Chains A and B, each alone.
Chain A
Amino acid sequence: MTQGVEHAPVEILLVEDNAGDVRLTREALREGRVVCNLNVVVDGEAALAFLRHEGPYASAPVPELILLDLNLPRKDGREVLAEIKEDPTLKRIPVVVLTTSNAEPDILQAYNLHVNCYITKPAKLDEFLSVVKSIDDFWLALVKLPPKVRP
Chain B
Amino acid sequence: VIAVHADNLTRDDGPVDAPSFASAILNILDDSALETARLADTQRAILNILDDSALETARLADTQRAILNILEDVAGETARLEDTQRAVLNILEDSAQETAQLAETQRAMLNILEDVDVERKKVEQAKAAAEAVSADLSRQTQELARSNRDLEQFAYVASHDLQEPLRMVSSFTELLGRRYKGKLDAEADEFIGFAVDAAARMGSMINDLLAYARLGSGERQVGSVNCRSVLAQVLVNLEAVIEENRAQVTSDSLPTLTANETELTQLLQNLVSNAIKFRTERPPVVHVSAARVGAEWRFAVRDSGIGIAPEHMDRIFVIFQRLNPRDRYSGTGIGLAICKKIVERHGGRIWVESTCGGGSTFFFTIPEREDATR
Contacts and interface: CB of A to CB of B under 8 A. Distances in A.
Q: Say whether A associates with B.
A: yes
Interface of B: 160, 163-164, 166-168, 170-172, 174-175, 178, 203
A20 to B, nearest CB: 4
Contacts of B163: 100, 123
A100 B175 contact: no
Contacts, number: 32
A20 B166 CA distance: 11
Contacts of A7: none
Contacts of A24: 171, 175
A27 B175 contact: yes
Nearest to B173: A125
A124 B204 CA distance: 11
Contact of A101 (B160, B168, B171, B174): B160
A126 to B, nearest CB: 8
B204 to A, nearest CB: 10
A146 B164 CA distance: 35
B198 to A, nearest CB: 14
B174 A125 contact: yes
Contacts of A100: 160, 163-164, 167
B76 to A, nearest CB: 113
Nearest to A124: B170
Nearest to B206: A123
B164 A125 contact: no
A24 B254 CA distance: 51
Given A21-B168, A125-B170, 14 more contacts: A18-B164, A18-B168, A20-B171, A20-B172, A24-B171, A27-B175, A100-B160, A100-B163, A100-B164, A101-B160, A121-B167, A123-B166, A123-B203, A125-B174
19 contacts: A18-B168, A20-B167, A20-B171, A20-B172, A21-B168, A71-B160, A100-B160, A100-B164, A100-B167, A101-B160, A123-B163, A123-B170, A124-B171, A124-B174, A125-B174, A125-B175, A125-B178, A126-B174, A128-B171
A13 to B, nearest CB: 21
A124 B169 CA distance: 10
Given A20-B172, A27-B175, A123 B160 contact: no
A20 B170 contact: no
Interface string A80-101: 0000000000000000000011
A106 B44 CA distance: 163
Nearest to A126: B174
A101 B171 CA distance: 18
A125 B168 contact: no
Nearest to B171: A125
Contacts of B160: 71, 100-101
Contacts of A27: 175
Interface in A102-151: 121, 123-126, 128
Contacts of B170: 123-125
B159 to A, nearest CB: 8
B205 to A, nearest CB: 13
Give the one of B163, B166, B168, B203 with max A CB within 10 A. B168
Nearest to B178: A125
A20 B168 contact: yes
Contacts of A21: 168
A125 B171 CA distance: 5
B340 to A, nearest CB: 27
A100 B206 CA distance: 14
Interface in A30-74: 71
Nearest to B177: A125
A84 B278 CA distance: 55
A28 B160 CA distance: 22
A71 B164 CA distance: 12
Nearest to B168: A20
A101 B166 CA distance: 15
A125 B168 CA distance: 9
Contacts of B172: 20
